[in-house]
Structure 1
Amino acid sequence: MELKSTMSDSFLELFYKEIECGISETYSKLNLHILKIENNQFCYPELIRHLQNHFISFALSRKEKQEFLKDERYGEMFAAAASKFRDYNVNEGEAGELLLFCFLEAHLKAPKILTKLEIKLSSNDYAKGSDGIHLLKVAEKEYQLVFGESKLDQKLTTSITNAFKSIHEFISRDRNSISDEIGLLNSQLCKEVFDEDSYQFVKSIVMPKANVDNPIVKNNAFAIFAGFEVAPTIDEKKMTNSDFLKEIKTKIKKEVEAKMSHIKSKIEEYDLHGYTFYVYTFPFMKLDETRKNIIKKLIRAE
């Protein structure tokens, strides 16, 4: 009856898992996954091959995907998913949204209920609100709706700052708020489940009833994908492969660990103590070029 993740642990085999820890005096967790390195470069071609296997589940609803698969319309399914993405020349955010989807499915084991991309009518649509909503079971009869927020910037501090600013506005504004998004989600549930039992089960979590025996407890949480740039120096690039790997991993880990206090300060600044945050930090080399190239190769199947 419960929704299942569309991804296996094989996606996580692409990454060095350097940090997975709680942030003191909060209910939040910090994660650092560093993409596999060969010949002093991140293995982007291998990452893109994996993303090609999963971007359809990200861009299309379960029901849409099922309809294409039922009739073996594989080419149409790919085209429908690819058409949701903005042109790669002006696409600065959707690579982060897709990567966050993958980490939530594969690492957090929180299956997607809805993504912003799948409800777009065209690639030029712009929708305020979260990048996606996932469902996480934290205990028996206890769940979290996990709202995704992806930000990419050269500086990790800026990515984190912008993500928390967006989340604060999402919670507090009068229109296009978290309450509106839950209402939208409730209206879209029929696209994400195949049968009436599953529909009623998920709806009971999204809109739980308090006046029943042994009620379902639902809270809202947030997942942040904070992409940032790491720029190896000329001297670092000249290192042996083993020395470079050790140096760059140490450098990235040190930078991310230093941001724990910043995350904590943002939670305090916006009075977000009642929310859980799952923060995924992710380093890129040549950020601007890479995030566009990922989308280009995905939608063109290059």
Structure 2
Amino acid sequence: MDLTLENDEFLDGFDHLECHHLRNNIIDIFSLKINANEFNYSTLQDSLLDPLINYSLSRKVRAEYQGKPAILSRRAREKFLDYLRNRGELGELLLYCFLESHLKAPKILSKLELKTSTSHYVNGADGVHFAKLEDGNFQIIFGESKTEENLTTALSHAFKSIYEFKNEINSSGAKKSGLPYEKGLISDHLEKETFSAEEKEFIKKIIYPRRESKFEVDDAFGIFIGYEIAIDESDRWLPNSEFRKKIQAKIKAEISERLTHIEKKITEYKLFGHYIYVYILPFTELAKTRTKIQEEITK
């Protein structure tokens, strides 16, 4: 059973700089394409328009408006804009795009699909995907995104959020939603007929494996980290090819310097047995850029 996957055209606007393997964890470093010594944000904005529809709207809603792309696009933009007012996190959409296009992990649900109160926006994972492994087993991938100026801080906050999610606690130590809640949410959502009967049955087998199942299912995590990169004004005067090389080398060095920190956080929070897929992307003037992209894709 194959659920809808985004095509990999989303990745055309990026350079995949490096991939690090830390035991069960994979850290993929991406950079936006550089045009005239600037990150090409226009290409990113364009590449988010189509994924925004699949991210924001359920399969049922998309089927209802099949053949009416203008209405479908408007519905998706309205829903995403409403979501941003409650949550304000572009990183969740980017995480969705990377998991679908790069990891080939189809979405089971995103928080925008929920037809409940907006309070659910702040609960649980930033989205749920699944991946079929080469050995025939599966992973349920719970998403977490952080876009913060400081790379180390963003990584620390992401792993802390995963720890709290897994252990159903919050910063004050009180009970909060976690893995059981999220799996129950998926199951409840399936009954609202977002999926076909065949898709429901398939997903239920992944969420709650049966005795006769011929595969194993493990909980995994997907993380998107957006951080702010500082570029010296003098570097803007470099020839284009030299600028690309220097900035890409700077990005790779900044992430390489944090690999020990990532491993430390995994150890600190005892996340050893989980596969964790980390996607890292730098931005210039993060807050300003994030706001502009959000405005462009929802107008």
User: TM-score if structure 1 supplies the norm length?
Assistant: 0.91
- Distance change (3 Å), C-alpha of 1:204 and 1:124: closer
Shift of 1:33: 0.8
Contact 1:83–1:123 (8 Å) recurs in 2: no
State the match for 2:219 in structure 1. 220
Contact 2:52–2:76 (8 Å) recurs in 1: yes
State the match for 1:193 in structure 2. 195
State the match for 1:82 in structure 2. 77
Distance 2:109 2:158 in 1: 19
Q: Deviations over 1:62-109 (max 9, x none)?
A: 11111111xx33333222212222469968743111111110000000
Task: Flag structure 1 segments of 5+ consecutive residues without an equivalent.
Answer: none
State the match for 1:22 in structure 2. 21
Shift of 1:294: 1.1
| 1:131 counterpart letter in structure 2 | D
1:118-157 pair list within 5 angstroms: 118-119=113-114, 126-157=121-152
Contact 2:57–2:113 (8 Å) recurs in 1: yes
Aligned alpha-carbon RMSD (Å): 2.0
Distance 2:50 2:165 in 1: 31
Contact 1:27–1:276 (8 Å) recurs in 2: yes
State the match for 2:164 in structure 1. 169
- Distance change (3 Å), C-alpha of 1:92 and 1:244: farther
Contact 1:114–1:192 (8 Å) recurs in 2: no
Matching residue within 88, 95, 107 for 2:102: 107
State the match for 1:2 in structure 2. 2
Q: Deviations over 1:237-293 (max 9, x none)?
A: 121211111111111110011111111000100111011100000000110011111
Q: Alignment partner of 1:208: what SS?
A: coil
Matching residue within 29, 33, 41 for 2:38: 41
Contact 1:88–1:293 (8 Å) recurs in 2: no
Q: Deviations over 1:178-237 (max 9, x none)?
A: 11000100111244422x22221111111111x22x533111100110110112111111
Task: Flag structure 2 segments of 5+ consecutive residues without an equivalent.
Answer: 169-174
Distance 1:91 1:242 in 2: 41
| 1:193 counterpart letter in structure 2 | F
State the match for 1:59 in structure 2. 56
| 1:157 counterpart letter in structure 2 | T
Distance 2:297 2:201 in 1: 35
Q: Alignment partner of 2:122: what SS?
A: coil
State the match for 1:208 in structure 2. 209
| 1:176 counterpart letter in structure 2 | S
Distance 2:118 2:185 in 1: 20
- How many residues of Structure 1 are paired with residues of Structure 2 in the alignment? 292
State the match for 2:183 in structure 1. 182
